[in-house]
Amino acid sequence: TTVPAVTLNNGVRMPQLGFGVYQVPDDETAAAVTTALDAGYRSIDTAAIYGNEQGVGRAIADSSVPRDELFITTKIWNSDQGYDSTLRAFDESLAKLGLEQLDLSLIHWPTPERGLYLDTWRALERLHAEGRVRAIGVSNFEPDHLERLVATSTVVPAVNQVELHPALQNRATIAANERHGIVTEAWSPLAQGAVLGESSVIAIAVRHEATPAQVVLRWHLQQGRVVIPKSVTPSRIAENLDVFGFELAADELAAIDALERDGRTGPHPVEFN
Ligand code: NAD
């Protein structure tokens, strides 16, 4: 499978589908990432708080895939926000991953009560200018946070990674991303499985001889978003990548749009500090 790429606002190409490792224990992470790399994934999404950067690093070191074909993302955790602490946290993540350069570094949450995301961003801008990370972005930023960041910064975030799936479609944030040329990346793209039993999703899957997970991933991909589904089950890891051989029709996309409800699985970005 060749995964299409999206071009970020700084020209860097990012695979449209990657592998997420949230909640994968460090000692199981290398095996899961190795399975994903063998299946054909080239983009891996981790975070300092996941505690499994070392496992990701081990899989990268053991893999025969050349480094320049990989796209590795990690994130600055809330308690590391601030200029100096971000520089330190970045170095620690890079050391754990065993890498000299990162592809994408994200501010994990805006944590507005801390009031530090602009300082954190200055540190990422510096790391980017030094060539230590190819692209910088944010995660869980609401439109207000984005406006404030963009108004006061040199570098516009390349990516905003937000909770996004049929049960939480985050339209205002997507519109804000689009206004600024920021790529939208969907976390929990499958709603952690919560939308896979929907009868409309199952009906569409049957029609395409696909699985519900594949249908939901197509719904994202056809709207130009980046997705990072997670699984530790080899058959599902392969299944989630095998989504480039069919296409949903407009009425099928609309049927999935209609599943919107208050289906948030994670914290609200304004309240999480
Ligand atoms: P997800 O929507 O990818 O769902 C994963 C779960 O769905 C699996 O544990 C499994 O139960 C089920 N599943 C996966 N593939 C399946 C298949 N083919 N068939 C049936 N069930 C299947 O949820 P996630 O792990 O929360 O999100 C994906 C990634 O997003 C994470 O691993 C992480 O990298 C990232 N993430 C980022 C943030 C953030 O704040 N930036 C927060 C949460 C997750």
Give the pocket of ligand 1 (CB within 6 Å).
Answer: 20-22, 45, 108, 139-140, 161, 187-193, 196, 211, 213, 228-231, 236, 239-240, 266
Is 50 an active-site residue? yes
Q: How many C-beta neighbours within 10 Å does residue 176 have?
A: 21
Nearest alpha carbon, ligand 1 atom 23: 188
Would the ipTM clear 0.85, i.e. be above it?
yes
Contacts of 40 (CB under 8 A, 6+ apart): 1, 2, 3, 241
Write the pLDDT tens digit of every residue in 103-144: 999 999 999 999 999 999 999 999 999 999 999 999 999 999
Q: Is 98 left (phi over 0), alpha (psi -120 to 50) or beta?
A: left
What is the distance between the alpha carbons of residues 264 and 123, in angstroms, rounded to a whole number? 31
- Going from the Cα of 169 to the center of ligand 1, the distance in angstroms, rounded, reads 16
Among 82, 71, 22, 87, smallest CA distance to 49 is for 22
CATH for 5-193+224-232, among 3.30.70.360, 1.10.645.10, 3.30.1130.10, 3.20.20.100? Answer: 3.20.20.100
Q: What is the pTM of this model?
A: 0.98
Q: What is the pLDDT of residue 244?
A: 98
Tell me which H or E stretch contains 74: strand 71-76
The pLDDT of residue 1 is 78
Instruction: Please state the φ and ψ torsions of residue 251, each to the nearest 5 degrees.
Output: -70, -25
Give how far Cα 222 sits from Cα of 219, 244, 248, 249, 254, Å: 6, 10, 8, 10, 12
Q: pLDDT tens digits for 210-250?
A: 999 999 999 999 999 999 999 999 999 999 999 999 999 99
Q: Cα of 22 to ligand 1 centre, how many Å?
A: 7
Confirm or deny that 108 is annotated as ligand binding. yes
Given the DSSP bridges, would you call strands 19-20 and 102-107 parallel, antiparallel or unpaired?
unpaired
Q: State the Cα–Cα distance between residues 61 and 81, nearest whole angstrom.
A: 29
Which residue has a Cα nearest atom 34 of ligand 1? 20
